[in-house]
């Protein structure tokens, strides 16, 4: 039985669906954050009409999580530290900002010989092994058991390392808010980083993320990653299409399906700050993962280096024993 959920599938069945959902792996995944199953979302690009219902729903649903910076901002040293203030530009909807965690990207591409405008919802990819989480020096970025990566606004110091290491530079900074104000605001930190948390609180309550819930076209589907991948391959086979997110950066929990190659979409898209690409993204954590093996071998290497001393020690013990026996 398929356990994938879109808004329509969620609503259509009413109580009956609720019963079905309760018995399905997705239902188990949705109400609990402590499941070991990674949930992924499938974004079928050809369904998106660019109405921005998802964008508005995201903003409404996450309103309470948005920054409310204190002004004037503390003077930061040295002067090169950039002040990033989006509080006066909260209406910006054509890129990622601390107040806009999802936006619609457009690209004019050739689909079956016809120039077509593709609309692509863009937000955090929720990598299966997220560098933003793994390389955060304070543990402020966290990955939940269900694959959601989120930034704890109460802990983040706004150093922007997460953005720097993200293959898509997703997290966005707001100066003048967060823990750094209580520490050394002039010398360390610079606000808080914000990004999509895939409505972790709604999912914990068994609800769909706001963007999926609001979509009138069922562009997005959520479910266990392996089922989402299978569904993405089924659609791709049907339309002779392409998949993005399955292997990028070692795999993500946001899978796009498109009728045209993503390289083509990427070329046709407008780039810039706060506008993530759809190009190649190699696994950034792979080199460190391979080196982790060296850590396991290291103690044995140390013992091998001490082999001479170990042999000498036991040999002298045996010699001592022989000498005692001779006496």
Partner 1 sequence: MKPNSTTATQSSSRWSATFNGGILFLLMLTGFAQMPIFKRYYIADIPGLGWLAQFYVTHFLHYLFAAIFVAIATYKTAEYMLEKKQVWKLSPRGYLMVLTLFGLIFTGGLLVIRNLSGIYFPASFIIALDIGHLLLVFGLMAGVAYGLFSKTGWLARR
Positions that interact with partner 1 (CB under 8 A):
36, 78, 80-81, 128-129, 134-135, 137-139, 142-145, 152, 155, 159-161, 164-165, 188, 250, 284-285, 287-289, 291-292, 294-295, 297-303, 305-306, 309-310, 312-313
| 107 vs 278: CA distance, rounded Å | 11
Contact yes or no for 31/21 (Cβ under 8 A): no
Q: At 93, which helix (H) or strand (E)?
A: none
Supply the minimum distance, in Å, between the C-beta of residue 165 and partner 1: 5
- Residue 15 or 287 having the CB closest to partner 1: 287
Nearest to 122 by CA among 34, 45, 230: 45
* Residue with tokens 């068994």, as numbered in its chain: 206
| 17 vs 24: CA distance, rounded Å | 10
- Residue 10 or 180 having the CB closest to partner 1: 180
- Residue 11 or 187 having the CB closest to partner 1: 187
Supply the minimum distance, in Å, between the C-beta of residue 163 and partner 1: 10
Supply the minimum distance, in Å, between the C-beta of residue 307 and partner 1: 9
Supply the minimum distance, in Å, between the C-beta of residue 292 and partner 1: 5
Supply the minimum distance, in Å, between the C-beta of residue 217 and partner 1: 33
- Residue 202 or 225 having the CB closest to partner 1: 225
- Residue 14 or 302 having the CB closest to partner 1: 302
**Tokens read off for 312:** 């000498």
3-class state of residue 76 by DSSP? coil
- Residue 21 or 162 having the CB closest to partner 1: 162
Supply the minimum distance, in Å, between the C-beta of residue 91 and partner 1: 30
**Tokens read off for 141:** 């970025």
**Tokens read off for 38:** 């990674």
- Residue 21 or 39 having the CB closest to partner 1: 39
Sequence-separated contacts (24+) of 55-58 with Cβ below 8 Å: 55/93, 55/100, 55/102, 55/103, 55/104, 55/121, 55/211, 56/214, 57/210, 57/211, 57/213, 57/214, 58/100, 58/101, 58/102, 58/123, 58/196, 58/210, 58/211
Supply the minimum distance, in Å, between the C-beta of residue 188 and partner 1: 8
Contact yes or no for 156/192 (Cβ under 8 A): yes
């Amino acid at each position: 039985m398929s356990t994938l959920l879109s808004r329509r599938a969620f609503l259509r069945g009413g109580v009956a669906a609720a019963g079905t959902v309760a018995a399905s792996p997705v239902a188990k995944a949705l109400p609990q954050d402590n499941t070991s199953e990674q949930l992924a979302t499938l974004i079928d690009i050809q369904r998106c009409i660019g109405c921005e219902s998802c964008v508005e729903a995201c903003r409404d649903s996450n309103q309470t999580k948005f920054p409310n910076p204190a002004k004037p901002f503390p003077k930061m040293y040295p002067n090169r530290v950039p002040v990033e203030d989006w509080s006066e530009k909260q209406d910006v909807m054509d890129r990622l900002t601390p107040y806009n965690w999802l936006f619609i990207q457009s690209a004019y591409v050739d689909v079956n010989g016809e120039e077509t405008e593709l609309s692509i919802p863009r937000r955090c990819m929720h990598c299966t092994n997220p560098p933003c989480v793994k390389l955060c020096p304070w543990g402020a970025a966290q990955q939940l058991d269900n694959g959601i990566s989120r930034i704890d606004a109460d802990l983040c110091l706004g150093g922007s390392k997460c953005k720097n290491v993200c293959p898509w530079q997703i997290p966005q900074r707001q100066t003048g808010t967060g823990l750094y104000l209580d520490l050394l605001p002039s010398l360390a930190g610079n606000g808080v980083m914000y990004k999509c948390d895939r409505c972790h609180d709604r999912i914990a309550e068994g609800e769909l993320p706001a963007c999926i819930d609001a979509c009138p076209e069922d562009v997005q589907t959520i479910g266990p990653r392996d089922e989402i991948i299978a569904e993405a391959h089924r659609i791709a086979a049907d339309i002779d299409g392409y998949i993005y997110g399955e292997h990028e950066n070692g795999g993500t929990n946001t899978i796009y399906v498109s009728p045209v190659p993503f390289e083509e979409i990427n070329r046709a898209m407008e780039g810039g700050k706060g506008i993530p690409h759809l190009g190649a993204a190699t696994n950034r954590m792979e080199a460190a993962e391979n080196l982790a093996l060296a850590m396991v071998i290291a103690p044995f290497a140390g013992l091998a280096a001490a082999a001479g001393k170990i042999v000498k020690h036991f040999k002298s013990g045996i010699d001592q024993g022989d000498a005692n026996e001779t006496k």
